[in-house]
Amino acid sequence: MFGRRLLGILFFSLCFTFTGIGLKHANAAETLSIANNGSATGSVNQNSAGGWGGQSFVAVDDNFSSVTWKVGTEYNDKYHDDFKLYLRNSSSETIASSTIHLDTPIQFTSGLEVNFALDTPYPTTPSTTYQYIIEISDEPFSYALTDGGIYNDGESLGSAYDMWFEIYTDSTPPSNDYVMYYGNNPVYTPTNSYFSLPVVYNVCDSWSTTTDFYLYLRDDDDNVEYAAAKLLESCSGTVVFDSFSGNTDYTNTLHFAINSLVYSNEFINAVYTPLMDSSSYIHYYYPNGLYIDTGGGSGTTTVNFAYDVCADVNWASSTIYLVNEDSGNTGISFTPTSCTAAASMYFPYSQDLQLTFPASLSYQRSGVEYLSSSVFNVVFYSNTANVVWGDPETATSTSWFAKFTNEWYVKFLNVFPFNIPFLIRSAWLESSNTPLDSDLSFLVVADETGSVGSTFPKEWALSENDLNITLFSESMISQGSSTASDFFDKFRNFTKWLQIFGYVFGVLALAYKLVNDMTENQSDNI
Amino acid sequence: MTSLLIRIGLPAFLYLVLVGIGNAVDLALKNYLVQFFVFLRSVVAPLNFIWNFDTTFTLLGLTLTLFIAYFSFKVFLTLKNLFTRVD
């Protein structure tokens, strides 16, 4: 209990201590004085003069509509309510004025902007000189401009004073010159290669036939020039600036410039050492496509390929996948045991698999692809028809049994109930190639490959498109292991004989029971 | 003559009836059965990699046949006893 009280006392003591420090700091601000230490000359549309904390001028459509005073130095005023703004011409005649009322005490913090809106916008004409005055309260003080309209540095003016500034409009029409980089940002370039940077420019306003205009690529930090400047042939157009990337990694913010006249937007150039070099490769052996005959039933085929990834020092933790370029499935994979080899991966298939898809071999590490082969076709095909009564495939088959099942007199062998097993089996096999009626399509749980997925609406997924997420698939369990796939294949075959055995055993047991029952009944009757 | 008709004609008639039923079932039910199996395939497809459903449905058909044959036989025996009972 005592400990808690002690902690409480300590906590509140600390709070008061920090509050005291804060108040003391705030009081200290009131004693700051203001120093005028800048030029009093500015121009339309441009921040320029320093002075009483700094100021900027705002002109709209060549009309002065307001003047903004941007506080550069912290200032406190306890005595005045009103700030008045007068706009005067070079003859000191007031041509517009405005007043802003502020509650006392006035405390201007650095960066605060105080806007004086003129009662009526005042039109300006080029090459005309104006002055304006900021007057505090009703105590106008006149300070003459020094030579050239510039206040002397360090002149202390106290806390209540007026200031005169000279402003002028720029008689030079604005230039339309520009240079703009419009390529990728950031630009990623491998070392020891070239990057090409597209630039569009127009310097026709400044163009002169007696001056050479160069396009420079410069570093933002120290304005170091990258590569040789490019001589411009015309005053406007597009240029592709080519440069060698060098042999070291770096990331720099760059921009283009034309003769220090115009500067482009900034962009980031990242030069990196690529993981793979020109000696790295991954090749498959199937220039005409990989054809797999599934007619013989389920089995496993090999996908042969050769690779060299010795440039990657971490190749031991990598995996080479057979990627279905259509679905993105990466069920089949190979784990390298050396950085360069001719190897093969095992590809299980089943008889009812009729599929063609574009595939590639992908060298990946931690889910990131670093190298891939070109794309080739994987084609599953079967020359053996499933010989089943009623199966559509039998209609085109040339086997004697298929022909037999299509003969008219076979209808007379369709004796109920002995046609039931054929009916069920043929319906089952036909269902593998038949789509569900569109009205019932919502009942479909899994797709042809047995994957159960769900579509998440884009509003939930916070993405541009709806998101398809696989909830269950064989590859989730086998994890791309050919051993696991092999095991599942064998187990599936085993279940076939397990069911047949169970069926025969069941039939025999029931027959035995039936015979027993009948025999007992007969003996009872006797 | 009557005996000959019963001995040959009745089984022949029965055979034709069964063939008729067989073909009628084939025509009438197969499409529905196929649609049902398409749905069933999508339900069992996730386990298809570990279980041979082709065999399952073949044996299911055989089992159903045996049951139907058994009950048909029972009906046949009942009818036979009904018509040929000697008190």
Residue A243 CA, chain-centre distance (Å), reads: 27
**A64 near A96, Cβ under 8 Å?**
yes
Confidence of residue A400 (pLDDT cuts 50, 70, 90): low
Measured from the Cβ of residue A52, the count of other Cβ atoms closer than 10 Å reads 24
User: Residue A442's pLDDT is what?
Assistant: 78
Alpha carbon distance A291, B37 (integer Å): 30
The set of residues, in sequence order, having a beta carbon less than 8 Å from that of A16 and lying 6+ positions away, is: none
Per the CB < 8 Å rule, is B33 touching A472?
no
User: Which 3-state string (H, E, C) describes A266-329?
Assistant: CEEEEEECCCCCCCCEEEECCCCCEEEECCCCCEEEEEEEEEECCCCCCHHHCEEEEEECCCCC
Alpha carbon distance A157, B77 (integer Å): 128
Q: B60 contacts in A (CB within 8 Å)? A: 424
Q: Which of A413, A418, A448 sits opposite B65 (nearest CB)?
A: A418
User: Residue A279's pLDDT is what?
Assistant: 78
pLDDT exceeds cutoff 60 at A62: no
Q: A444 contacts in B (CB within 8 Å)? A: 39, 42
Q: Report pLDDT digits (tens) over A237-266.
A: 999 988 888 888 888 888 899 988 888 998
Q: Nearest CA of chain B to the CA of A342: how many Å?
A: 30
pLDDT exceeds cutoff 90 at A499: yes
**A416 near B25, Cβ under 8 Å?**
yes
Q: B77 contacts in A (CB within 8 Å)? A: none
**Range from A130-134, A154-158, A253-257, A401-405 carrying the lowest mean pLDDT:** A154-158
Q: Return the higher-pLDDT residue of A140 and A208.
A: A208
Query: Tokens in use for B29?
Result: 């039910």
- The 3-state DSSP class for residue A492 equals helix
Mean pLDDT of chain B: 83
Confidence of residue A498 (pLDDT cuts 50, 70, 90): very high
Q: Does B8 touch chain A (CB under 8 A)?
A: no
**Range from A225-229, A306-310, B13-17 carrying the lowest mean pLDDT:** A225-229
Q: Does B58 touch chain A (CB under 8 A)?
A: yes
Confidence of residue A126 (pLDDT cuts 50, 70, 90): very low
Provide the residue type at A353 as one letter.
Answer: L
Alpha carbon distance A323, A247 (integer Å): 33
**Range from A96-100, A248-252, A318-322, A335-339 carrying the lowest mean pLDDT:** A96-100
Query: Tokens in use for A436?
Result: 């569900």
pLDDT exceeds cutoff 70 at A291: yes
pLDDT exceeds cutoff 70 at A422: yes
User: Residue A524's pLDDT is what?
Assistant: 52
Alpha carbon distance A200, A197 (integer Å): 10
Q: Report pLDDT digits (tens) over A456-478.
A: 877 776 777 777 777 888 877 87
Q: Does B42 touch chain A (CB under 8 A)?
A: yes
What number is the average pLDDT over the span A410-436?
78
pLDDT exceeds cutoff 80 at A284: yes
Per the CB < 8 Å rule, is A428 touching B65?
no
Q: A446 contacts in B (CB within 8 Å)? A: 42-43, 45-46
Nearest-by-CA chain A residue for B31: A427
User: Residue A495's pLDDT is what?
Assistant: 92
Q: Nearest CA of chain B to the CA of A244: how many Å?
A: 54
Q: Nearest CA of chain A to the CA of B17: how many Å?
A: 9
Q: Nearest CA of chain B to the CA of A341: how many Å?
A: 32
Alpha carbon distance A242, A231 (integer Å): 13
CA-to-CA dists, residue A88 to A115, A164, A167, B57, angstroms = 18, 9, 10, 101
Taking the alpha carbons of A408, A410, A414, A420 in that order, is the dihedral positive or negative? negative
pLDDT exceeds cutoff 80 at A71: no
ipTM rounded to 2 decimals: 0.80
